[in-house]
Structure 1
C-alpha cells in the first residue's frame, strides 16, 4: 500500500510539473547551525575484543534501532505484497550469514546484538541495508592556500515509508537520532574518525588525520548490489561488502595512494563511487579523486585537476553522463560552488553549499565537514522544511 502511495504522489507531482521544483538557492547564512543539531561522539577502542567494542555506543540505542528495522521490514513486506517470507528469512538465517563474514566484523555484530537485545539476524540486516540506499553529495575542495577540505551530505530513505501527514520519509526521520561520530583508537591514539549510524560498523564517511579523507556514494547501475546480495545469500562470496572494505582502508592504509589502490582493486558486492581526498595539492597532481567502481573492476578514476582544478564533486551519477532529470543535485551544487568561488572554500562555505536546496533535501540526514591537515571533523543533523524535494 505504501509503495502505491509513494508512486501516486510522484505521479501527481509530475502532472503538476512540480518535479523537479529546482529553484536553486545558494545560501550563505546556514553556518553554524543550532547547537541542538550537533552530533555526539564516542570512542571505539580497537584494542578491546571485537564483541565488546560497541557495547557502550549501542546499549541505549536498541529501541531506536528496532524502530528503524521494523520500518525496513515493513517496506520489504510491501514490496512482496504483504508476504513475511523475506522478513522471516532474515530473522532465521541472519545468524548463519554472520558466520560467513570476515573478522572482526562478525564478532562486532554479535556484540551489538547482545548489547541491544536484538536478534543477530536483524543486526546483520541493519548492516547490509546501507549498501543499496545511500544517495549522497560529496565534495573535495582546496582553498587558495592549498588546504584541502572534504564535505558531504548523506541522503537516505527514498521510497522507504512516505509520511503523508508530515511530508517526510519515515526512514530518514528514524535515522537522524542514530547519527554519531566515532573515534577509532588504538593505544589511546586516534587511528581515524568516522560518521556512523549507531549499530552500523562499516564506513561511509571518515577522516584519517593528516593523511586522507573518504566518502562513499551509491552508484546506480545494472550490476547493482541486489545481484551481489543474492549471490552472497546463495553462497558465491568472492566480493567484499563495501562498508567492510572502507573500514579496512581507514584502519590500514598509510596514505592517499595506498587507499586509492585498495579502493580500486578489491572486488565488491555492489558498485559505488569512492570520493577520496589526500593531504597534498602540489607536485604531479592534486590529491582528490572520484573512483567509479563496477563490482569487479574500476570504471574510471577522475582526478580533481581534470575535474575543475580546485574542487571535485560527485552525487550518484557517472560524471561523464547526465544525472536523472528528477534528481539533478549536481547542477545546483556546481552552481553554488561557482557562486562561492575558491576564495570561499572553508568549513563554513562548504556547509552553506550543502545546505542549499536541492542539494539539501528531505532525505538529507547529516552534513559532515572535514579538514585533513588538522584532522577536524564536525557533523550536523540536517532538516529541509517545505517546500523541499522529494516530494
Structure 2
C-alpha cells in the first residue's frame, strides 16, 4: 500500500519513478552535517525596522513600497487558484473585493488601520489585502524545534512550509505560491522609542506573526493543526459576525509585544479563543521552559512540556498531534527526532539544529524559510530555502 501511494504521488507530480529509489515516501536521507552557514544560493532574509511610534496607517509604508510588485503577483495567484471554487461568480477579483473589503472594518486595531495603510500605499484594492491576511490562517505547514543545551541555554528554530496543493508547476517541479512567497520574507524588528522590543519573521504585507522572539524572555512559533473543526469554520463564524475568536497571527503578535515572561505567554495562548486550531511552540529563558500547546479553536487540547533533563531536552512539532503517529506519507517528526538525538545535548546549538531542518523530508519543496532563534539577546536569523533536488513535494 505504501509503495502504491509513493508511485501514484510520483506520477501525479510528474517526478521520475526512480527519484527516490526503493524508499517509501517521503524520501529520507542521512542526517545532514555542516550545512551552516548555508551557501550563497540560500540568502538571509532582508531586515526592516517597524517603528511602533509611527501611526499604524504609515508604519509599514517603506516596506510595502518596495514589495508591492511581489505582493500583487502573489495575490493574483491566490485569486486564480480560488476562482474556480467560487460558483456562479464570473469575475473572481470582483468577488474578492466585494466580499472581503467590508471585513477590514471589523479587524481590531492596529490591524484595521495597518491594512488600510497597506492598501493606500500599494494601490492594491482593500479586499485583496484582507484576503492576503486571512490566507495564512489555514495553509501553513511547518516543523518547529525547541532545544536546551547542557548549560541551560534554549534554542528555537523552525521551517515554514507553505503552498500545498496551491498551484503545482509540473514542468519546474515547484509550488506556485511557495515560489511567490520567498521574495516577501523579511525579518522585522519592532521598535519603541528606538529600542527593539521584539523580532519576527513576516511575509511583507501580512501583519500577523508566525515566528518571533521577545529578547531575553521567550520565543514562539505556530504550526497548522488539521482538525474537522478547522480554520474555515472559524473564519466563516467571524465573517458572519461572531468575533469572539482571535486571528492566530494577530494574537501571537499581540502576545509577543505584551507578554513579559514565558508564563505570561503560556497563560494567554492556552486560554484565548482562536479562529483556527493550531500548535503553538514556545521557548523561555530558564531550564525546562519549552512547550507545545495543542489548540482546538475554543480550548486547549494538550500541553506538552520539555523537562530539560538529559533524556528530555528537546521538542519536535510538525502538523500532527504529538501523542499520535503521523501519516507515513508526511512523517517529518521521526527524521527530525532521529537527527536531534544524533546531534546530542552536548553539541546542540543553532548550527546543528539548522542541519536537522536541512535534512529531507524535514526540508522539502514547500519550505520557504528556516528561522533560527536564541532567546538570550533576542537573536533571530532567517534564511530563504530552496530544496534543490530529490525532494518530496511536502
TM-score range normalised by the length of the shorter chain: over 0.9
Give the corresponding residue for 1:379.
382
Which of these residues, 295, 298, 301, is aligned with residue 296 of structure 1? 298
Gaps of 5+ in 2: 1-7
Give the stretch that moved more between structures: 336-345 or 348-357: 336-345
C-alpha displacement of 1:345:
0.9
C-alpha displacement of 1:117:
1.2
Which of these residues, 321, 334, 339, is aligned with residue 331 of structure 1? 334
C-alpha displacement of 1:6:
8.8
Give the corresponding residue for 2:226.
220
Matched, 1:92 2:122: no
User: Secondary structure of the residue that 1:274 maps to in structure 2?
Assistant: strand
Verify the 8 A CA contact 1:55 1:111 in the aligned structure 2: yes
Aligned length: 383
Task: Give the Cα separation in 1 of the matches to 2:388 and 2:89.
Answer: 35
Task: Give the Cα separation in 2 of the matches to 1:18 and 1:149.
Answer: 32
User: Secondary structure of the residue that 1:343 maps to in structure 2?
Assistant: coil
C-alpha displacement of 1:344:
2.0
Task: Give the Cα separation in 2 of the matches to 1:21 and 1:259.
Answer: 35
Verify the 8 A CA contact 1:278 1:287 in the aligned structure 2: yes
C-alpha displacement of 1:306:
8.5
C-alpha displacement of 1:158:
0.4
User: Secondary structure of the residue that 2:377 maps to in structure 1?
Assistant: coil
User: Secondary structure of the residue that 1:60 maps to in structure 2?
Assistant: helix
Matched, 1:370 2:376: no
Verify the 8 A CA contact 2:13 2:170 in the aligned structure 1: no
Matched, 1:162 2:164: no
C-alpha displacement of 1:12:
8.9
C-alpha displacement of 1:25:
2.4
User: Secondary structure of the residue that 1:214 maps to in structure 2?
Assistant: strand
Summarize deviations over 1:104-142 as a string: whole Å, max 9, x none. 001001111111111111111111111000000000001
Verify the 8 A CA contact 1:288 1:303 in the aligned structure 2: yes
Verify the 8 A CA contact 1:6 1:162 in the aligned structure 2: no
Verify the 8 A CA contact 1:135 1:315 in the aligned structure 2: yes
Give the corresponding residue for 1:27.
32
Summarize deviations over 1:19-65 as a string: whole Å, max 9, x none. 51433321102110134511110000111110011001111211111
Give the corresponding residue for 1:345.
348
Q: TM-score, normalised by structure 1?
A: 0.93
Matched, 1:196 2:196: no
User: Secondary structure of the residue that 2:268 maps to in structure 1?
Assistant: helix
Q: TM-score, normalised by structure 2?
A: 0.92
User: Secondary structure of the residue that 1:213 maps to in structure 2?
Assistant: strand
Summarize deviations over 1:133-173 as a string: whole Å, max 9, x none. 00000000011111100000000000010011110001001
Summarize deviations over 1:178-207 as a string: whole Å, max 9, x none. 000000011111110000000011000000
Distance 1:18 1:164, change over 3 A: farther
Matched, 1:71 2:73: no
Which of these residues, 113, 119, 123, is aligned with residue 117 of structure 1? 123
Gaps of 5+ in 1: none
